[in-house]
Structure 1
Amino acid sequence: MSTLPRPPKAATESSPARRPSPRRAGGRGAHKGLLFVLPFLLGFLATYVVPIGYAFSQSLHEKKSTGLGFGPTRTVYSGFANFASVLADGNFWASMTRTLLFGAAQITVMLGISLTLALLLDGVAARAVRFFRAGLLVPYVVPTVVSALMWLFLYSPTGSPLHDMLARADLDFDFFGGLNTYLALGNLLTWQGIGFNMILISASLQALPRELYEAARIDGAREWRIAWSIKIPNITGILVLTGMFSLIGRLQLFTEPLLLRQIAPESINTDFTPMMEIFDKAFKAGNYQYAAAESLVLAVATGILAFVFYRVTNRKMS
């Protein structure tokens, strides 16, 4: 009986040389990943790294006049002299303290209202929830300048419907001056931020397992007890996150008080917030180098405060 010839070994077994090496495969994956994140890296460099580097370069210089102060000014290297001046600037740190104290009260009220609304919507039918969510999110969708101008008109002593309503009730109320200034600004910021924070908190509530609520109801717990003992303890992470974001936003507060200053210049001065102080130094006094140093100090202080807030609140709620 004749036997069939065996096929050559090269035809049945793959050659080791043809197999892609793990090193080449890993290199291709790394190149693809780099190309995937390249647009973000370019945007991050162009909008964050380069401006920060330029601001740091500006902060190391200062302008000095030649002669007896009547000659032309020239920019000279001054090292960290601007940073030393900022650290000793009482107006800058007073504006920082004022903003922090104001933010502590306003953020607490805003997040409290957002949490209450989210808890109320968590027990409503799905169709009604979508309707109320869209309505409460409208103030956040409105651009900051537009909403500030709208409330500027409502607070204005001339032509404001709020003043007309108060006048008909024989009430004379000034929205600015002393504590009323902070109440007016806080009302504007709370109106802007309630919807966005409510959406984040509501999404966290929707992610909780419903079996927890059913077990609590079987044990006889009422809705307020379920909210206090089950819902709130399980969404502390999002509460800390929204609080940290709100704290960063308050330290960068600029547009709203700048526009409200148009009708209350005696209540909201040029250094009411750190950002207003930086703006005044840069574009009114023309001291860009000092303003650059102030902006970098503000950025570092904001990062430190946000980190401390996150660690402390996380430790207390864990």
Structure 2
Amino acid sequence: MAVQQPIADRAPRNRRRWTGWGFLAPFVAVFALVFLAPIVYSVYLSLFRDQLIGGTSFVGLDNYTQVLGDDAFWESLTRVGLFLVVQVPVMLLLALLVALAIDSGRLYGASFFRISIFLPYAVPAVVASLMWGFMYGDRFGLVGNVNDAFGTSLPDPLSPTWVLASIGNIVTWEFVGYNMLIFFAALRTIPTSLYEAASIDGASEWRVITSIKLPAIRGALVVATIFSIIGSFQLFNEPSILQSLAPNAITTDFTPNLYAYSLSFSGQQYNYSATVAIVMGLVTMVIAYVVQLRGMRKEL
């Protein structure tokens, strides 16, 4: 026969349970206010439309149907997709090579290189875009000065043909150091006993990299890839700043985020802008989730 626990013994346990929720309450409140509330409000806005006759009215999923048939949205999504496919592998490969070089212990002045490569990440994206935009200028910047000094005709980095690559260069310059630190931190957690065993077996440096280091930091590679994918789909600061320098190359629908911003603040289409943002959030979430699943399967 089960003996019922006295009420006096249950009271301290209940108090401890509510004490834990009390510690979590500030975080939950801030999380709900700055994360959940904007999402809920955006979903609410996306279900309405401000019409010329009748004012704001409920339209259900009509805004989402309109987005799926919006050529401007698909062009911007294709553009950032191309940006992701090219820029992210290049950036992560450079970050991985630098992390491996610093971790090897054969690089002279490794601490200096580590700090130097990380420093661009400390530069705000607006400042970095302005700095590189000035250097890209063919009439007033570094490219123009080189053309004048040597009588050359270098391609205009802010032309429609090259502007996406120019933005990719800025983003790579900014985030190589950030990803390098992620990889380097993961490399430092590898037990030295593995290196000692590999040395006893006569493994080459390349064998150590492929058989010990890369498998050990696979989780860090997945995390960095997910962060980079999210950042690529959220591309906004760099094209927004460079838009005034290259108005013919960077249009208001250059990226989905820039398109949503232009719809909201220039076109006063708040409902449709919220719909674009929600669709982009779903696309980013699905792709990041697929990458995470594939990375976890390989790790297992």
TM-score w.r.t. the length of structure 2 is 0.92
Task: Flag structure 1 segments of 5+ consecutive residues without an equivalent.
Answer: 1-15, 67-72
Sort the Cα spacing of 1:79 and 1:115 in 2 relative to 1 into closer, same or farther, 3 A. same
Asked if 1:277 is matched to 2:264, the reply is no
Sort the Cα spacing of 1:273 and 1:29 in 2 relative to 1 into closer, same or farther, 3 A. same
Measure, in 2, the Cα distance between the counterparts of 1:229 and 1:132. Answer: 26
Q: Which moved more, 1:23-32 or 1:111-120?
A: 23-32
Q: 1:52: which partner in 2?
A: 39
User: What's the % identity of the aligned pairs?
Assistant: 36
The superposition leaves residues 285-317 of structure 1 with CA deviations (integer Å, 9 ceiling, x where unpaired) of 111011111111111111111101111233345
Q: Which moved more, 1:201-210 or 1:80-89?
A: 80-89
Q: 2:13: which partner in 1?
A: 26
Asked if 1:259 is matched to 2:255, the reply is no
Q: CA deviation at 1:171?
A: 2.5
Q: CA deviation at 1:20?
A: 5.0
For these two proteins, the number of residue pairs brought into alignment is 295
Q: CA deviation at 1:182?
A: 2.0
Q: 2:87: which partner in 1?
A: 106
Larger radius of gyration: 1
Measure, in 2, the Cα distance between the counterparts of 1:105 and 1:82. Answer: 31
Measure, in 1, the Cα distance between the counterparts of 2:262 and 2:276. Answer: 11
Q: 2:28: which partner in 1?
A: 41
Measure, in 2, the Cα distance between the counterparts of 1:133 and 1:32. Answer: 43
- After superposition, where does 1:240-259 map in structure 2 within 5 Å? 240-259=222-241
- Check the 8 A contact 2:101/2:107 in 1, yes or no: no
- After superposition, where does 1:1-318 map in structure 2 within 5 Å? 21=9, 23-66=10-53, 74-124=55-105, 128-173=109-154, 174-316=156-298, 318=300
The superposition leaves residues 170-208 of structure 1 with CA deviations (integer Å, 9 ceiling, x where unpaired) of 331211334422221111000000011000100000000
Q: What residue identity is the alignment partner of 1:193?
A: F
Sort the Cα spacing of 1:152 and 1:220 in 2 relative to 1 into closer, same or farther, 3 A. same
- Check the 8 A contact 2:87/2:168 in 1, yes or no: yes
Sort the Cα spacing of 1:317 and 1:90 in 2 relative to 1 into closer, same or farther, 3 A. farther
Sort the Cα spacing of 1:215 and 1:25 in 2 relative to 1 into closer, same or farther, 3 A. same
The superposition leaves residues 57-105 of structure 1 with CA deviations (integer Å, 9 ceiling, x where unpaired) of 2111111123xxxxxx721222221111112212212211220121111
Measure, in 2, the Cα distance between the counterparts of 1:119 and 1:126. Answer: 10
Measure, in 1, the Cα distance between the counterparts of 2:41 and 2:81. Answer: 28
Q: What residue identity is the alignment partner of 2:37?
A: V
- Check the 8 A contact 2:219/2:295 in 1, yes or no: no
Measure, in 2, the Cα distance between the counterparts of 1:132 and 1:35. Answer: 45
Measure, in 1, the Cα distance between the counterparts of 2:105 and 2:60. Answer: 61
What SS does the corresponding residue of 1:171 show, helix, strand or coil? Answer: coil
What SS does the corresponding residue of 1:270 show, helix, strand or coil? Answer: coil
Q: What residue identity is the alignment partner of 1:123?
A: S
Measure, in 1, the Cα distance between the counterparts of 2:108 and 2:265. Answer: 50
Measure, in 2, the Cα distance between the counterparts of 1:163 and 1:32. Answer: 65
TM-score w.r.t. the length of structure 1 is 0.87
What SS does the corresponding residue of 2:31 show, helix, strand or coil? Answer: helix
Q: What residue identity is the alignment partner of 1:310?
A: Q
What SS does the corresponding residue of 1:63 show, helix, strand or coil? Answer: strand
Measure, in 2, the Cα distance between the counterparts of 1:125 and 1:145. Answer: 36
Question: Runs of 4+ in structure 1 displaced over 6 angstroms?
Answer: none
